Amino acid sequence: MITEIGHFSLVLALCVAVLQASLPLYGAARGEAALIAWARPAALAQFLFVAIAFGALMHAYAVSDFSLANVAANSNSLKPLLYKLSGVWSNHEGSMLLWVFILALFGAAVAAFSRNLPPALRARVLAVQAMIGVGFLLFILLTSNPFQRLWPAPADGMGLNPVLQDPGLAFHPPWLYLGYVGFSISFCFAIAALIEGRVDPAWARWVRPWTLAAWCALTIGIAMGSWWAYYTLGWGGWWFWDPVENASFMPWLVGTALLHSAVVVEKREALKTWTILLAIIAFSLSLVGTFLVRSGVLTSVHAFASDPLRGVFILLLLSIYTGGALLLFAWRAPQLQGGGLFAPISREGGLLLNNLLLTTAAATVFIGTLYPLLLDVVAHRKVSVGPPFYTMTFVPIMVPLLVAMAIGPMLPWKRGDLIAALARLKFAFLATALAALVTLAVTGAQSIGAACGLSLAAWLFAATLTELAERVRLFAEPRGVLRRALSLPRAAWGMTLAHGGMAVVIAGITGSNAWTEERIVTARPGDNFAIAGYTIALDAVNEVTGADYTATRADLRLIRNGHQVAALHPEKRFYPVENGNSTGVAIRTNLLSDIYAVIGDGDGKGGYVLRLYWNPLVPWIWLGAVVMALGGVISLTDRRHRVGAPVRRARAVAATTVQAAE
């Protein structure tokens, strides 16, 4: 019964979305206030109906209702409740419903939190959002209905892929989708601006918090995904450049560019058309990501769920939304008024360079991801593009980006002085040189690449601190620093944290690439192994039983200087229901480096394969990502987003006050 309510509710959501997509748009064009006013309640109602549908599916999973084909195929009565619930989005149908749920959630959030938006603009934004909703609701109802009944109902479900039964992965898709779908709001604002033919600082200020929220969620989602890959796949790696990862990374790169170019629109009224284009591309890449992952175009050989009909449907949606948006862009963008001019060496110039490098990076990943597909279409050849391609293309783009990232914030708007900015970075130069020398002295001349990576990280980190110190006049006027620090705009703190976090991530990536130690041994209880100054002792190997699995479990002791530091228990789990294995990696971290242990198969003679890794600086990758996301969140709480400051008529005044505050 609840299932049918959910299904019915989804149809109702579609009806509401159709009205929401049409009436307010018509009303905004004709200036009819009654129709314009339709947008907000419609967005809230659409969210309510989608939420009921989503709740119904959650309920079916929670109570293990195997008369639903979707539940029977992806769940099992023995599973812990957490994995029953996360089973909702571990499959195609459920994850599409989650996608639409988050879309409607963002629509409702715009309806609820944008009272200061001009009603016509809000109506257009919500109408465009509803158009996206219509497409994906149709997609779910026509090709991927999670409420399909199964008759007769099986006694138990087939279970969930063991690799997916993990807290990291349980929360990874929702965060990722919050990011993907969050960019739909920037997209809708861009379309609304093109329809209105007006982009101004007020527009940039409205669009920024939504972009920022999506960016934070995507940062967390990507970090979670890579963390999951790190500790469940058991290879010691954390990023594999596979198409699914790239699909989430491309919107992140473009979204990062968008965040920065929106600042230029807000402060200087420049880069308007470019910002609009970035907003369109960021969301389009989210759609491409959905298409690539869901259609099986790239992973086709082994993708069981790949279904050409679904692929064609998503392709159709992609053509309509992105194609329509870009057509509108081609038509309306030339009419947008150009903005302030600036010299190449200036804050704007730095942000433009950031944009060019980030979009080039995104294009590189795009080509690497799609080249196999295009080559297949054109030349009927199958290739795969691996990490060497990305190392060769990505690093040369990232190095200038990181160098410029340190200098950009030191430059004033309009016109800057590069030499003077570099002179203010003398401590950063010192830190860079020091990092390089210390690295070379400690690890020897062969780690020249690592020295470059760490000195880049030091450069960025020191420059970010320098910029902060200058803002609070730490050296010029030490008294009252705390007061000044607290009264800095939150956006400034956000930037400091995000840039600092990036430096930490770079250090982590460098460390893991340069110095990871790996030992693969066949071990018997009683054996000892040395790795990176630690001794690891294998005491015993036991068979243990978990909730819905059995496992071979090793008891390892991690010893340093004769003292036990930690006990490690790597497991190799077998899930009888799913007839599959998963790896339970044991990790001991001291936040500087990880000891990472995996147990493999036994040799039948009492020996077991043990894989031991020492991964220096790897925890910093996720630590840095969290700091970056935190920076985004703090920036989101900036006063200018909360106060209804940007009223269009008063924008000249607003612009002056902002500049005075800088």
Partner 1 sequence: MSRRGWIYALPVLLFVGLMAGFYYGLQIDSTVLPSALIDEPAPRFDLPPLPGHEPGFSSADLSGHVSLVNTFASWCTPCRAEHPILTALAATKRVAIYGIDYKDKQEAALAWIAALGNPYTRIGADNGRVGIDWGVYGVPETFVVDRQGRIRYKHVGPLTQADLDRTILPLVAQLER
Residues that bind partner 1 (CB under 8 A): 273, 277, 280-281, 291, 295-297, 300-302, 304, 308, 311-312, 315, 318-319, 322-323, 326-327, 329-330, 333-334, 370, 373-374, 376-377, 380-382, 601, 604
The amino acid at residue 154 is P
Query: What is the smallest separation between the CB atom of 183 and partner 1, expressed in angstroms?
Result: 17
573 touches 551 (CB < 8 A)? yes
Query: What is the smallest separation between the CB atom of 317 and partner 1, expressed in angstroms?
Result: 11
Complex with partner 1: residue 327 or 392, whichever CB lies closer: 327
The token pair at 448 is 């020249």
Query: What is the smallest separation between the CB atom of 248 and partner 1, expressed in angstroms?
Result: 19
Complex with partner 1: residue 72 or 280, whichever CB lies closer: 280
Closest CA to 593 of 617, 567, 612: 617
Query: What is the smallest separation between the CB atom of 296 and partner 1, expressed in angstroms?
Result: 8
Query: What is the smallest separation between the CB atom of 272 and partner 1, expressed in angstroms?
Result: 12
Query: What is the smallest separation between the CB atom of 583 and partner 1, expressed in angstroms?
Result: 13
Cα(332)–Cα(312) distance, rounded to whole angstroms?
A: 29
Compute the radius of gyration of the chain from its Cα atoms: 27
Cα(209)–Cα(428) distance, rounded to whole angstroms?
A: 31
For residues 386, 251, 265, 396, the Cα torsion angle rounded to the nearest 10 degrees is -10
Rounded to whole angstroms, what are the CA distances from 230 to 165, 302, 567, 596, 624?
15, 22, 20, 10, 16
The full DSSP string for 49-83 is HHHHHHHHHHHHHHTT-TTBHHHHHH--TTS-HHH
The full DSSP string for 83-103 is HHHHGGGSSHHHHHHHHHHHH
Query: What is the smallest separation between the CB atom of 529 and partner 1, expressed in angstroms?
Result: 22
Question: Looking up tokens 């990502």, which residue turns up?
Answer: 625
Strands ordered across the beta sheet of 517-523: 517-523, 608-616, 593-602, 586-589
Complex with partner 1: residue 324 or 412, whichever CB lies closer: 324
The amino acid at residue 77 is S
Complex with partner 1: residue 379 or 486, whichever CB lies closer: 379
Complex with partner 1: residue 215 or 291, whichever CB lies closer: 291
Backbone φ and ψ for 535, nearest 5 degrees, come out as: -115, 135
Complex with partner 1: residue 31 or 334, whichever CB lies closer: 334
Cα(654)–Cα(474) distance, rounded to whole angstroms?
A: 28
Complex with partner 1: residue 308 or 340, whichever CB lies closer: 308
Complex with partner 1: residue 147 or 291, whichever CB lies closer: 291
Q: What is the maximum span of the chain, computed from C-alpha positions, in angstroms?
A: 82
Query: What is the smallest separation between the CB atom of 225 and partner 1, expressed in angstroms?
Result: 22
Closest CA to 90 of 9, 149, 166, 142: 166
Query: What is the smallest separation between the CB atom of 524 and partner 1, expressed in angstroms?
Result: 18
305 touches 296 (CB < 8 A)? yes
Q: What is the DSSP letter of 149?
A: B
Complex with partner 1: residue 376 or 527, whichever CB lies closer: 376
